[in-house]
Amino acid sequence: MLSRRSFLNGTLAAGAGLTLGSQQTAAQAPAAQPARKRVIVDSQVHIWKASTPERPWVPGTVPQLPEPFTIERLVLMMDEAGVDRVVIVPPILEGDRLDYAQEAVKRYPGRFGIMGRLALDNPNAAVRLARWKEQAGVLGVRLNFTARQAANQQVVGWLTDGTADWFWPAAEKLGVPVMFSTTAQTALFGPIAERHPQLSLIISHMGVSFEAVRKKMPLSDLIAQSAALAKYPNVSVKLSSSPLFSSETYPFRDVNSYIHRLFDAYGPQRCYWGTDITNSLAKATYRQRITHFTEELGFLSEEDKDWIMGRALLARLGWA
């Protein structure tokens, strides 16, 4: 017969074993993981210094703000808003020079990449393009086929007069991504995308330029041109500068249908958030430009936002 002492000893041992097992189970359980941070990448910001005799702006150009928009000012705004990386597009007043953008790349490693400008009518342009991505921080080319601020007004005609014809096969062969802006000429990129399927073409600002806004062109027609190019896998779109196109205050609900249309056409892996912040600085804070997409667009899932807010652009530009 089991004695009372034996029973108590057995019970205590069993209890100790259960306690030890519970402690081991708790110790072996994985610790709670912190929430994964969404990487936020702005697909376009201009920066520039003041014009000086030693470093003058391109004659005839005008900045988007009366004062310089410096590296220091941008980094402060990025840190306050929670922006991890920015694609710098040197403004037209800088011409083809990259030195100030490259200063940002050098001072803040990993936070800045550059889409540099290239004058397609320059006799040395092909030679320069051949070594384009060897330049520090340079990810690709940004082309502007609009009249705004352009010192050479003929750029508007480069798409149709043969000036740009040499560039597309060369950029395709070299693997150079191309961002472009036009004024109601986005449809002209359909044949280019079809002839050069390995050329990455990225529509800037949903296909809406400042000139189009100034001339009050119907946004629906411009968005339709951009959406039509979604059938080409090598074409993608920056959903950038939306406050500029809006006639409302934050959260800019009158442009949300255009964003939705392009999202439906291209999907989350071919859409990129961006601000072009100096083109509408007074209309919204940097943080509001983020929350417009992360909090106000109900048709986007959290995974969609991960792609659009940064992941997709990093993949498209090969920016590790």
Closest CA to 99 of 88, 86, 110, 109: 88
The answer to whether position 18 is within a domain reads no
Q: Which residues pair with 8 in a beta bridge?
A: none
Q: How many domains does the chain have?
A: 1
The answer to whether position 14 is within a domain reads no
pTM of the model: 0.88
pLDDT of residue 34: 55
- H or E element in which residue 319 lies: none
pLDDT of residue 60: 86
Each residue of 114-168: pLDDT tens digit? 999 999 999 999 999 999 999 999 999 999 998 654 455 568 788 999 999 999 9
In whole angstroms, give the CA distance from residue 96 to residue 132: 12
Pairing of strands 138-145, 112-117: parallel
Q: 231 is in which domain, residue-wise? A: 41-317
The answer to whether position 280 is within a domain reads yes
pLDDT of residue 146: 85
The answer to whether position 146 is within a domain reads yes
pLDDT of residue 8: 38
pLDDT of residue 294: 98
pLDDT of residue 10: 44
The answer to whether position 7 is within a domain reads no
Which residue ranges of the chain lie beneath pLDDT 70? 1-36, 147-154
Q: Where are the alpha helices (DSSP H) in the chain?
A: 4-28, 71-81, 99-107, 125-130, 167-174, 189-195, 210-214, 219-228, 242-245, 256-266, 286-294, 302-306, 312-317
The answer to whether position 16 is within a domain reads no
The answer to whether position 31 is within a domain reads no
The answer to whether position 29 is within a domain reads no
DSSP string, 151-185: SSGGGGGTTTSSTTTTHHHHHHHHT--EEEEESS-
pLDDT of residue 150: 46
Looking up residue 143, the CATH number of its domain turns out to be: 3.20.20.140
